[in-house]
Structure 1
Amino acid sequence: MTIRLGIVGLGKIARDQHLGAIQATDGVEFVAVASRNAALDGVASFNDIEELLSSDVPVDAVSLCTPPQGRFTQAKAALDAGKHVMLEKPPGASISEVHALEALAKKKGLTVFSTWHSREAAAVEPTRALLADRKIRSVSVEWKEDVRHWHPGQAWIWEPGGLGVFDPGINALSIVTRIMPEPFHLVQSDLFFPENRAAPIAANLSFKTSSGVPVAAEFDWRQTGPQTWDIRIDTEEGPVVVSHGGSRLSVDGEQRVVEEDREYRNLYKKFVRLVGEGRSDADFSPLVHVADAFMLGRRHAVESFED
């Protein structure tokens, strides 16, 4: 089976990650793109998803690479047209809308895939297996990067629904929700908002697992120089460190896993498999934790941010 795929949104993430991953994935034929500001040579190009769906270009599925604000309307239009849907993270701008999409896909017998690319990093599954047999004492997450490098000129990310620093922070939460052997919940949230922005530039979060294990997370978009994407797990059997965004694993001080980026290729392979099996994958737990962070968040004003 080959999925005839259209991409909606041809911005930085689509060009940096999706296009190459699609090209490298068996079972996917890239047939169309819908974007207000860009087109691709050799591929049918449209201004928006409505124009794509009403065209005579045969499409089986769409991959939505647009900002989360407004994505519900696009995903619903695709599902209503009988198309499978792949959602770039975060899957939407609110909890209620993503659950509505999941229910609609189920009703229509279609696949909706809420992707978390960081879960596809090489060290994630080995860490999950390792922690299942260890006694965890505490978890510490440090996710700090330079917003000007990764999101230059992207004004939408500072608006309500754009998530601010949780755009990268949700990647960390997607890993932690995957590797932890028990669920955890938020107990304290401190959010740091630039005076001129509607979304936070930094966040300090405290969680606890069901058995009381503390999980701390620090997210910051103001780090220059080397970037930090580390998760440190203190266990009774020794330290476990997941670093470089999930691509490396160190156990008891010894390197176990070192691998380059393969995340988006794995996502598209999984999408092909889900469609073939008639299943969805709609785990929204990382987004739930972000919503909790805003719900319980104590707001702190910091200096203005200018891109």
Structure 2
Amino acid sequence: MDPIRIGIVGMGKIARDQHLPAIRGDAAFSLAATVSPVADQGVDGAPHLPSLDALLAQGPAVDAIALCTPPQVRYDLAAQALARGIHVFLEKPPGATLAEVDALEACAARTGASLFAAWHSRFAAGVAPARAWLAERQIESVSIVWREDVRVWHPGQAWIWEPGGLGVFDPGINALSIATHILPRPFYLRAGTLLIPANRAAPIAADLSFCDTAGAEIHMDLDWRQTGAQSWDIIVETDAGTCKLSRGGAVLTLPSGAEHKEDREYPGLYARFATLIHSGRSDVDTSPLKLVADAFLRARRDTVEPFND
């Protein structure tokens, strides 16, 4: 079977740190091209084009694209590719709105192309075994603490503070992608507070109270002002003891002990994308984005001091 010829659209940090190594390490794919308006953002061994329009008009031919652009501009690019029958990998979050992701899913169904809303944290080493263990337990309560330093992880990225950029929910949605995957029952927002800097449009911190359909309370603490050690933890109290995912899902601790395996998030994503393409299917789960949208819909907004990089 010939490799899937894939182009990367958007050559920022996530593309270089994660997508390029995963593609190069997967025999199911070959890197056909990179796309960015910045001329020097290309890589050795692949043509570099200034836009998706240029790639589609001039070649080289691609079977799939990975969209690593900010979410606010992703819809038009994805729709353009899907209309041509090109498979599309959407970095998280899959779009700036839920409605546009629904429209893309419908477009993929019409054209037969595969659409993949990729939640990389679900492929962290501890997530699958945590899901299996929790499936047989009674959930009593859940604590999610996702605190990091935005200056370290998103320096100078103005788009992330704009409408559709999600602010602190850019990392927070990773936690929600895990929680919606491992918890055996759906959950919904009951109350919350968003802390929004006076000079920004998106929150820098959030405190959210969820509840699952059996009444278990789920508390989420998000903060982009953390310095020193970073916190990416999900703690689930059950009738059989505590399940803890730390380091963003990489480390699983159960009553029987801790497990820490190699980080294979993006290789796992690309293996999944290849499977979807070869089987003619799509995978577009918007449940994490729905919870973020609900936070903007229902949570109280408090203004805090301005934030500057």
TM-score range, shorter chain: over 0.9
Q: Distance in 2 between matches of 1:49 and 1:214?
A: 45
Q: Distance in 1 between matches of 2:58 and 2:188?
A: 46
Mind listing any 5+ residue stretches in structure 1 that lack a counterpart? Answer: none
> Aligned match of 1:286 in 258, 267, 288?
288
SS of corresponding position for 2:263: coil
Matched pairs, number: 306
Number of the residue aligned with 2:216: 213
Query: Structure 1 residue 100 and structure 2 residue 67: aligned?
Result: no
Q: TM-score, normalised by structure 1?
A: 0.98
8 Å contact kept, 2:186–2:212: yes
After TM superposition, the structure 1 = structure 2 runs for residues 182-261 of structure 1, keeping only pairs within 5 Å, are: 182-252=185-255, 254-255=257-258, 257-261=259-263
Number of the residue aligned with 2:268: 266
Q: Distance in 2 between matches of 1:96 and 1:13?
A: 25
Q: Distance in 2 between matches of 1:230 and 1:299?
A: 25
Structure 1 residue 102 displacement after superposition: 0.4
Query: Structure 1 residue 24 and structure 2 residue 36: aligned?
Result: no
Structure 1 residue 259 displacement after superposition: 1.6
SS of corresponding position for 2:60: coil
Counterpart AA for 1:295: L
After TM superposition, the structure 1 = structure 2 runs for residues 50-89 of structure 1, keeping only pairs within 5 Å, are: 50-89=53-92
| Runs of 4 or more consecutive aligned structure 1 residues displaced over 6 Å after TM superposition | none
SS of corresponding position for 2:72: coil
8 Å contact kept, 1:53–1:81: no
8 Å contact kept, 1:111–1:280: yes
Structure 1 residue 105 displacement after superposition: 0.1
Query: Structure 1 residue 299 and structure 2 residue 296: aligned?
Result: no
Counterpart AA for 1:16: D
SS of corresponding position for 1:197: coil
Determine what percentage of the aligned residue pairs are the same residue: 55
Number of the residue aligned with 1:179: 182
Superposed CA deviations along residues 210-243 of structure 1, whole A, max 9, x for unmatched, are 1111111011000011100000011111111111
Q: TM-score, normalised by structure 2?
A: 0.98
| RMSD between aligned residues | 0.8
Mind listing any 5+ residue stretches in structure 2 that lack a counterpart? Answer: none
Q: Distance in 1 between matches of 2:72 and 2:266?
A: 22
8 Å contact kept, 2:126–2:249: yes
